[in-house]
Amino acid sequence: EGSSELREIRFENVSFRYSEDAPDVLKNISFTLRKGDRIALVGTTGSGKSTIIRLLTKTYTGYRGSIQINGRELRDIPLAEIRNMMALMQQDIFMFNDSIRFNIALGREYLTEEDIQKAASFVYADHFINQLPGKMEYVIQDNGDNLSKGQGQLISFARAISGNNELIILDEATSAVDSLTENYIQKAIENIFSSRTVIAVAHRLSTIKHSDQILVLEQGRIIERGNHDEL
């Protein structure tokens, strides 16, 4: 449940612009991700990292070149299938004015209480949840205003990891968090990286270190690739 088999994702000479009269923000991007791979996207702001994620998740479809999942063109794959296969952890996550449990499970009725607890502890979110009044019942305010940025990130990790989706996509936040939460985030990333296929927009050295393929982007192009030791 909540998963669809993933063998390979292939970008072949992918170019993309946000509108007809705008310049290309991705230029001839090619890379292959196989089941179990951990890929990090790094590069300066505006270099196209999040745009690659937006294409992969079918947020935008007007790309040129080819994006194939298990040999099928992404354009021809129903969005529901993509959503089953991938879980996205974004910079700013949407929070509902409801309990922590609700914000992790998000209406996925196949998730048991144990799944939710396990996901929370797998990403080290249980450390702060257990200190809150009511724990899993604690009500998050609109926009997550009563959580720190880092705690919000951990909730988003738990949300993503709980569904058993084959591919985890992390668009890592640049914003600084307190050092205790930062420590948990790093450990959570380590756990996620050791258990799933991951593509991550990476700002933290710890994320980059745990990747086996690093793609360096600049102005929409891949200018370097290799692992942490090679670059």
Instruction: Note the residues at the interface with ligand ATP (CB under 6 A).
Output: 18, 25, 43, 45-51
- Say which entry of Mg ion, ligand ATP, none residue 90 contacts (CB below 5 to 8 A, set by partner kind): none
The number of angstroms, rounded, from the C-alpha of 77 to the middle of its chain's C-alpha atoms is 20
For residues 219 and 26, the answer to whether their CB atoms sit within 8 Å is: no
- Say which entry of ligand ATP, Mg ion, none residue 60 contacts (CB below 5 to 8 A, set by partner kind): none
Residue 22 vs 80, nearer CB to ligand ATP: 22
- Say which entry of ligand ATP, Mg ion, none residue 25 contacts (CB below 5 to 8 A, set by partner kind): ligand ATP
H or E segment to which residue 101 belongs = helix 100-105
Binding residue count for Mg ion, defined by CB under 5 A: 1
Spatial distance between the Cα atoms of 195 and 145, rounded to a whole number of angstroms: 31
Nearest approach, Cβ of residue 60 and ligand ATP (Å): 8
Residue 50 vs 191, nearer CB to Mg ion: 50
Neighbours of 181 (CB within 10 A): 21
Residue 60 vs 110, nearer CB to ligand ATP: 60
Residue 92 vs 98, nearer CB to Mg ion: 92
Spatial distance between the Cα atoms of 47 and 11, rounded to a whole number of angstroms: 17
Q: Is 28 in the site for Mg ion (CB under 5 A)?
A: no
Residue 166 vs 172, nearer CB to ligand ATP: 172
Nearest approach, Cβ of residue 25 and ligand ATP (Å): 4
Angle CA(198)–CA(108)–CA(126) in degrees, nearest 5? 65
Nearest approach, Cβ of residue 35 and Mg ion (Å): 25
Break the chain down into helix, strand, coil percent, rounded to 5. 35, 25, 40
Q: Phi then psi for 75, rounded to 5 degrees?
A: -50, -35
One of 4, 15, 30, 50 touching Mg ion (CB under 5 A): 50
For residues 218 and 201, the answer to whether their CB atoms sit within 8 Å is: no
Residues found near Mg ion in the complex (CB under 5 A): 50
